[in-house]
Amino acid sequence: MADIRAFFSQKPKKKGGKKKQPEVIDVDSDDGDFVDSKTEISARDFFSQRPASKRAKKGKDKPTAKAQRSMIIEDDDEDEVVAVPDDNDDDIDEAEALAVLMGDDDDNGGGDDDDDAIGNGSGSGDEKGAKQTKKSKQDEKTVKKENKSATASPVKTRRSPRKKAAAAAAAKPKREVIEDDDSSGDGGHDSTNKAVQGGPSKTSPKKSKGSTREKGRASVDTKTKATPKTAPPRAVIEDDDDDDDDDDGGFVPAALKKKKAKTTSPKKSATSTSKTAATSASSASSSASAASASAGGGSTETTPKKGSNFWAYKQRMQNLAPPNLGQKPLPSGAQNCLGGLKFVLTGVLDSIERDTAERLIKDHGGAVQKSVSGRVNYIVAGIEPGPSKMKKAEELKLNVIDEDGLFDLIRTLPEKPFDDITTGGKKGGKKATATKKSATTSAALKASSSSSSSAAGAKRATATASSPPPQSAVGDLWTVKYAPKSMEKIVGQSGARSNAKKLKAWLESWHQHLPRKNNKPTKNDTGFDKRCALLVGPPGIGKTTTAKLVCEACGYEPIELNASDARSKKLLEAQIGPLTRNCTMTQFYGTATKPRATKVAVIFDEVDGMAGNEDRGGVGEIMKLIKTTKMPIICIANDVPQKLRRLRDVSFHLPFRKLQTKQIRSAMMSVAFKEGLSLNPIVLDRIIEGANGDIRQILNNMYMWSRDNANFVERQDIIDRDIKNATKYTKKTPWDCLPLFFRAAQRPRGYELQEAFFQDYSAMPLFMQENYLRCAPHGKSGPVDVLSTIADAADAISEAELVGNFMMANSAFSALPVYGYMSCIRPGFIMRGSLHGRIEFSSWFGNNSKRTKSRRQCSELQQHMRKDISADTTDMRLSYVPYLRAQIMQPLIEQGADGAKDAVAVMNAYNLTRADWDSLHELSQLSGLPDPTKRLDTKTKTAFTRAYNSSAHMLPYAEEAASKRKKKQKAPDTEEMFKMEEDEGGSNDGDEDDEDDEDVSGDAMIKQKKKRGGGGGKAAAASKKRSGAKKKTASKGASKKKAKRG
């Protein structure tokens, strides 16, 4: 346990260390500033999580006396170790505030921190930090071990599951080092800190909070030197957390639990935290000190890297997500029950994220402050609370509660009149903050977005802080105005494993991986083996934005083709084809402002929108481009319909999921703030859910609704109605609809069922027919009864079919509603009961297309043979096909390769092409019968193909059609893509040779050779041998074609 403490104790120290550093960022002490930064952060979420650097800038901008104090952040230039001894509160506040800020950021999504750190880190700290990381990691490890052995480092255990232990680990030791410094060099300030930390350890008797605090203070001075021992306050908090864990039965190992059971039981009551701290602290102190000392010792040399501390801490905070996120129900209390109360949040709470907590408090009328002051009523402490905050809280004898305590408060406190918060003490503060806010926001905005209107918005906010008027924008849609301007700002794409990051990694390494021709599929999902990325997801969650910003971030110049451009095979071939092997002008000419983009990427937006005559063959062409492209291709689609399946297979598939409410919340809040909307999280959540997480829609809606009233909170009723109205209509699938028809209890009303039918009136009846047997009818007395019910249902379906067929045949769609009743509602009603098993896709579609194909093959065969036979298609199939097939197969089976000649002779006699031979097999191969082609070995097949190809065939019909057909049969998957344009005719000029090659390679009969030849479309190797013969046919075909065209 002690070890654990020690372990934790480092954290606080780290802060101390930071303090020393000459500050950079001043966080202006007052609450105001923090608030600002906070708001800014939320803004940031939307735009980015960009924080630090910006903040740092801000800090620099307004250096004040305080600035020096603020100690945090990385070392900048002035290396003076400002001792800042005296100032206590403010400094600490700031430090904490910063920490808090950091914490916030982290919550939002990390990943960026590194960047930031780098950005800020003026050299020294960072580099060193980097070096040090390794060491520190080791240290960390040792610490960890100790922890474990000691008993149970709850926190530890908890954290480790939480991914990035490593990063966190790196951070810690550094901190410690610095701390050492601090203790010695940094007078009061540090000492105070430590005192806080150290205090409790000494003062085991602290049962009453008050006394504890006193003692803690008293001991400050003495403690100062003792540096490493500072764990206790941390410990307190940690213990709390542990409790929570226990409650949730989370990750805490049993041993831990035991321990906790001992120490923590009292803690459950929110305010009793300090007690436990005391007890545990005392026991822990000795070992803690040892542990920390050793840790400190290990890294002492590294002191100079102060700079990295803060970031390290930050990073660690980032890694801390609420351990039991979402596991506790959010409390709902009386309206405004927290009215007039002020809270400070610190650390990572147990089951809710910080902004959720803030919102919770604000929803109930409470105010959330960033820094501890005498006016604050409660400190809500989570895991790793800011040490200085805790210290100060103790000094001021504030109530420290944990998350459960907060929930209890909300549940138990009575309702208060609303005015309290709006007019009361809060207002003053609010105004003060508002001005600042505006300053910061505008600064932030300038940095982050060039939109002029936002600055104006900020100004407006300043002018009328408490109730800004509805804004009249300067003519940008919010969706444009608040569009993310850099990668980090894309909502929901900030995580390390986010699609944006993956895409970036893919894009960055694209050129490295390109040269490998046949990249083997990579195991992990980096997509490095693919030349194209496919972004798939519902609208309004930033796919296009991601693609563009990632391109930008990687220095690519995107060329976008979207559904508003015609993208037929021809156009793509003519325009994009060369492009993918090309350079752009900007590659040669760059301007000062816009440096040359050396690389180009092609973005095919809305590939699923490629439809109709104009886009004919577009998808196939894209596939072709992907094979040869010299630049990355990014495709974007809403979903992957059948025709895009193959595209998905050759692409790096990045599915975008619907964003969760909480991911969107803060971004929207910041927009609301900038636009002067009064909006509370409750309403916002409803808006978000109403739009189904579609950010663009949310912005559009909020814009629309704010036109005549900017106060969403007061006019909730109207907003609610709007939400309902605006709820995006999403089409239900037959799978969703079908169960409705079968429902026995609470039968839906007729019109509901009819609506379900109309979701897809052509598919629903088919689904009904496919699945009605999966329903076990209710209330039937026996198998006979069930059977007769099924008979009734079948009868109803067939009856409906009569209506349906008539309707379709005569375009008599006025009967559609009747058809709906008869085909779906009635059978469903008859079979009503419980549906078992999966609802299957109607097999009719597959069978129907098979039928169409067979018919086509029949008529083709018949056409080819008609000179020599006297039969129509039916007769041909029934009387000729079986025998003809046997006739051709026989020599092959009997004589193997030698029989090829005879087989070809039979085919020639009937004017059959090689493709017809395939059709013949397909047509006559009935399921369940042995397949004679299986009896042929590869050699024979090859020989046969060669024999056929080696001679010219005098065909009494135009071969052209046949050759096209041939192709179709070859690649059944892609055929959809190619078919269309081919049927169109004339779309593929000039590359008959190619085609023929492909034909051969694609041929089922010589598959193996093709494989050996390798290489996607180029089966040259395989076809080389017979290329001579081929060319003959090919050129013949070509000349014929030309003649025809001419």
- Quick one: which segment of 298-306, 359-367, 426-434, 609-617 binds other proteins (CB under 8 A)? 609-617
- Distance in Å, CB of 799 to other proteins, minimum: 6
Q: Render the burial of 642-677: b for 16+ CB within 10 Å, e for the rest.
A: ebbebbbebbbbbebeebebbbbbbbbbbbbbbbbb
User: Interface mask (CB under 8 A) for other proteins, residues 477-496, using x and -?
Assistant: xxxx----------------
DSSP per residue over 738-796, as a string? HHHHH--TTPPPHHHHHHHHHHSTTTHHHHHHHHGGGEEETT--SHHHHHHHHHHHHHH
By CB under 8 A, residue 802 contacts other proteins: yes
Q: Cα(48)–Cα(115) distance, rounded to whole angstroms? A: 12
CB of 779 to other proteins, least distance (A): 13
Q: Which is nearer to other proteins, 728 or 1012 (CB)?
A: 728
Give the end-to-end CA distance of the chain in Å, rounded to a whole number. 91
Task: Name the minimum Å distance from CB 747 to other proteins.
Answer: 6
Per CB under 8 A, 574 contacts other proteins: no
- One symbol per residue from 531 to 550: x for binding other proteins (CB under 8 A), - otherwise; what is it? -------xxx----------
The radius of gyration of the chain's CA atoms, rounded to the nearest angstrom, is 36
> For other proteins, which is the closer residue by CB, 292 or 544?
544
> Residue 58 in contact with residue 25, Cβ under 8 Å?
yes
Q: Closest distance between other proteins and the C-beta of residue 816, in Å?
A: 10
Burial 177-216 (b: 16+ CB within 10 A, else e): bbbbbbbeebbbbbbbbbbbbbbbbbbbebeebeebbbbb
Which position among 96, 605, 918, 995 is part of the footprint of other proteins (CB under 8 A)?
605
Nearer Cβ to other proteins, position 399 or 471?
471
Side-chain-facing half-sphere of 435: CA atoms under 13 Å: 6
Residue 694 binding other proteins, by CB under 8 A: yes
The pair of structure tokens assigned to 57 is: 């800038």
Give the interface segment with other proteins, choosing from 490-498, 522-530, 691-699, 979-987 (CB under 8 A).
691-699
Is the separation of the CB atoms in 597 and 565 below 8 Å?
no
Size of the site for other proteins (CB under 8 A): 67
Beta-carbon contacts of residue 684 (< 8 Å; ≥ 6 apart): 665, 668, 669, 672, 712
Residues 696-755, interacting with other proteins (CB under 8 A): 696-697, 700-701, 703-705, 707-708, 718, 721, 725-726, 728-731, 747, 750-751, 754
By beta-carbon proximity to other proteins, the closer residue of 566 and 961 is: 566
Can you tell me which of 166, 473, 776, 897 binds other proteins, judged by CB under 8 A?
473
Q: Which of 443, 581, 502 is nearest to 50 (CA)?
A: 443
Member of 800, 835, 861, 977 binding other proteins (CB under 8 A): 800
At closest approach, how far in Å is the CB of 602 from other proteins? 15
Residue 414: count of CB within 10 angstroms of its CB = 9
Burial of 836 (0-12, 13-18, 19+ CB in 10 A): exposed
Shorter beta-carbon distance to other proteins: residue 581 or 724 = 724
- Tokens 């135009």: give the residue: 958
| 535 φ, ψ (degrees, to nearest 5) | -100, 120
Question: What's CA 928's distance to the chain center, in Å?
Answer: 47
Of the pair 698, 1038, the CB lying nearest other proteins is at 698
Question: Among residues 588 and 729, whose Cβ is nearest to other proteins?
Answer: 729
- Structure tokens of 225? 């030197």
CB of 742 to other proteins, least distance (A): 13
Measured from the CB atom, is 628 or 727 closer to other proteins? 727
Q: How far is the CB of 745 from other proteins (least distance, A)?
A: 13
3-state secondary structure of 596: coil
Asked if 938 contacts 1010 with a C-beta cutoff of 8 angstroms, the reply is no
* Smallest distance from other proteins to CB 589, Å: 25
Pick out residues in 630-689 that bind other proteins (CB under 8 A).
638
| 1007 Cβ neighbours under 8 A, 6+ residues apart | none
When asked if residue 814 is in the footprint of other proteins (CB under 8 A), the reply is: yes
Q: Please report how close the Cβ of residue 626 comes to other proteins at its closest, in angstroms.
A: 21
Q: Does 611 bind other proteins (CB under 8 A)?
A: yes
Using the rule CB under 8 A, is 571 a contact of other proteins? no
Nearest to 90 by CA among 40, 34, 37: 34
Of residues 524 and 810, the one with the C-beta less far from other proteins: 810
The rounded distance, in Å, linking the Cα atoms of 49 and 105 is 6
Minimum CB distance to other proteins smaller for 218 or for 473? 473
- Closer to other proteins by CB, 609 or 739: give it: 609
Residues binding other proteins (CB under 8 A)? 472-480, 538-540, 560, 562-566, 605-606, 608-609, 611-612, 614, 638, 694, 696-697, 700-701, 703-705, 707-708, 718, 721, 725-726, 728-731, 747, 750-751, 754, 796, 799-800, 802-803, 806-807, 810, 812, 814-815, 817-819, 821-822, 825-826, 829
